[in-house]
């Protein structure tokens, strides 16, 4: 089982991210998760492959993975023992045409949805190998303490968003190169993005997003209490696995 220690947690708090290159799930469990992703990819209709957002709301099979001890044991050293599920997202960049993800902070797109963004963490699980060639995620270390950045328009045809952070120094970027089944973690406030996939290889990841339950959710999204107890008066879905 994947274990984080206090050294890892301290590094995460300092840098705003952590790359922990060990398998999260057994091979059989990863195979089942990938099979679920393939179902969603096949049934996506007119959606672009990187637009498969919050699939667990439509498909309760994913709760087995999102509420698993394997994942929550990774999350707990980062945000503490009272953990709730914020969202999840299959992000798939197709070969040769996978769009770029412009520099952004997740928290900037969630304004008005939570009382605080200090304890929202994303576990990015590699379903496919993820590297520079196929557009792996990259971050600017330490930017999770800077507050909201200034945004300018971006071309939404070639990017997953229609805005991007102005003036990012890309020379400071750290690239998250992962093998299938490995993961990274990042703070909701850190500046991050990804280049387009111009390779012949698909790049798919499953983002699992969690928050400490002392954070009050201010919108009507479906959330699940994963571990511990509620501290902010949130309303949760019934667990269905």
Q: How confident is the model at residue 240 (pLDDT cuts 50, 70, 90)?
A: low
pLDDT of amino acid 212:
98
Question: Are residues 181 and 24 in contact, defined by beta-carbon separation less than 8 angstroms?
Answer: yes
pLDDT above 70 as % of the chain: 96
On average, the pLDDT of the chain sits at 94
Q: What is the pLDDT at residue 101?
A: 94
Mean pLDDT of the region 120-129 = 98
The set of residues, in sequence order, having a beta carbon less than 8 Å from that of 84 and lying 6+ positions away, is: 210, 211, 212, 213, 223, 224, 225, 226, 230, 234, 236
Yes or no: say if 84 and 236 are a contact pair by the CB < 8 Å rule. yes
Q: Please state which CATH number belongs to domain 6-227.
A: 2.60.120.620
- Global pTM value: 0.94
pLDDT in tens, 27-53: 999 999 999 999 998 998 777 666 689
pLDDT for the residue 1: 53
Q: What is the pLDDT of residue 241?
A: 52
50: helix, strand or coil: helix
Spell out the residues 6+ positions from residue 28 whose beta carbon is closer than 8 angstroms to its own: none
Residue listed under structure tokens 């699939």 = 55
Closest to 195 measured CA to CA, from 123, 90, 48, 93: 93
Q: Which two tokens stand for residue 228?
A: 């511990």
Overall average pLDDT of the 69-90 stretch: 96
Domain boundaries along the sequence of the chain: 6-227
Q: What percent of the chain has pLDDT over 90?
A: 85
CB 49 within 8 A of CB 41: yes
pLDDT tens digit sequence for 131-189 = 999 999 999 999 999 999 999 999 988 898 899 999 999 999 999 999 999 999 999 99
Predicted confidence at residue 238, as pLDDT, reads 81
């Amino acid at each position: 089982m994947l274990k984080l220690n206090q050294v890892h947690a301290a590094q995460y708090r300092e840098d705003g991210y952590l790359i922990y290159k060990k398998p999260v799930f057994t091979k059989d469990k990863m195979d089942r998760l990938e099979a679920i992703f393939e179902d969603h990819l096949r049934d996506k209709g007119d959606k672009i492959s990187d637009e498969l957002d919050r699939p667990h709301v439509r498909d309760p099979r994913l709760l087995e993975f999102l509420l698993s001890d394997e994942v929550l044991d990774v999350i707990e050293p980062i945000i503490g023992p009272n953990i709730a599920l914020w969202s999840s997202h299959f992000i798939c960049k197709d070969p040769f045409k996978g769009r770029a993800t412009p520099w952004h902070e997740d928290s900037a797109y969630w304004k008005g949805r939570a009382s605080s963004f200090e304890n929202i963490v994303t576990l990015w699980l590699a379903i496919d190998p993820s590297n520079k060639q196929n557009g792996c995620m990259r971050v600017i270390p330490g930017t999770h303490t800077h507050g909201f950045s200034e945004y300018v328009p971006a071309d939404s045809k070639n990017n997953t968003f229609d805005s991007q952070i102005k003036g990012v120094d890309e020379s400071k970027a750290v690239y998250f190169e992962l093998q299938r089944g490995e993961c990274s973690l990042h703070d909701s406030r850190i500046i991050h993005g990804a280049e387009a996939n111009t390779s012949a290889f698909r790049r798919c990841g499953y983002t699992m997003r969690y928050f400490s339950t002392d954070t009050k959710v201010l919108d009507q999204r479906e959330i699940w209490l994963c571990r511990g107890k509620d501290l902010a008066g949130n309303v949760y879905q019934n667990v269905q696995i």
